[in-house]
Amino acid sequence: MLLNHGINDYYRLIFFQKGNGSISVNGRVIPFLSPALLCLTEKEKITAVNSDKLRACSVIFKPDIINSRLTIDVLNNISSEYTNTERIDLFCLKLFTEELNRRSVVLLGPSSESRIRDLLLSITEILDDPVDDYWPCRARSYFLELLNYINRLDPLKMDKSVTKDEEINNIIAYLYTNYKEKITINEITDKFCIDRTTLSKRFQKASGYTIIEYLNRLRINIAMYMLRDTTLPVNDIVYRVGFNDLSYFNKIFRAQTELSPSEYRGKYSVFNN
């Protein structure tokens, strides 16, 4: 699998450009929505991808590009001690060094997606056409800027991974792929040939939520990014994320964030600065 290229020696930054669904890493299922980022170490292997029209690219690198002492062997040695400078440099690798079971995708809003694309393009252009002897420094500077930028982005906090029930994994991937559409319990039971009672019990046991709770949390989380990273009217966002009733959306949004949509935008919009 292409996304596993360099797995034995390199860290990988995967940029999901298109498609929604789930990706299995070392047996742990991680749902994702494009555009998004996922950081993987040399120990982590992608074993399955369940996605609709996936398009992704990856940056593979050795961590000692950040600091010559931060080799994979040093980072994997729990007794390693670091200088103050090395600890500062470790911040760039924060999203890679967290334990996999605490790590999730980093969902990108329109402005953050644009910034990621610009930085990746700058790196690619330098590597494809090194115009002078300073090209390694220039490429490295853009890469450091990229790592520092993504470490300051918010992860998709609602992610609830499933590791044991493959059928529920597939249902979660279906929700991620089709959250914009009207989804009913009957539709899911028909599609996955499972009765309603069994579905309810297994889904809640695996994810911690009912299907409707999970779907609403997913939709609200996406709406939060749209409110923060765009100036789209709230009414447009409501329908973009799969709700068809503004008052119901407002109720669910406040229950999840303790703010109204307009209050959330006023507090967190990137356009306020």
Q: pLDDT tens digits for 17-74?
A: 998 888 888 888 888 888 889 999 998 988 888 887 889 999 999 999 888 899 999 9
User: Are 183 and 139 in the same domain?
Assistant: no
156 within some domain = no
Distances (CA, A) of 80 to 71, 74, 75: 11, 6, 7
Give residue 123's domain range. Answer: 9-150
Could you tell me if 202 and 143 lie in one domain? no
> Of 228, 221, 204, nearest to 256 (Cα)?
221
Confidence of residue 166 (pLDDT cuts 50, 70, 90): confident
- Is residue 164's pLDDT more than 90? no
| Calpha distance 101→111 (Å, rounded) | 28
Same domain, 127 and 229: no
* 33 plus 70 within the same structural domain: yes
Residue range 201-241, pLDDT digits in tens: 999 988 889 999 999 998 998 888 788 877 889 999 999 89
Same domain membership, residue 27 and residue 120 = yes
Q: Identify whether 118 is part of a domain.
A: yes
Residues 54, 3: Cα–Cα separation, whole Å: 12
pTM for the structure as a whole: 0.72
Is the separation of the CB atoms in 143 and 123 below 8 Å?
yes
Kindly state whether residues 139 and 85 are assigned to the same domain: yes
Q: Among residues 219, 227, 229, which one has the least CA distance to residue 255?
A: 219
Give the C-alpha separation, 170 to 182, whole Å: 18
- Bridge partners (DSSP) of residue 14 are 38, 58
Total domains present in the chain? 2
38 with 144, same domain?
Answer: yes
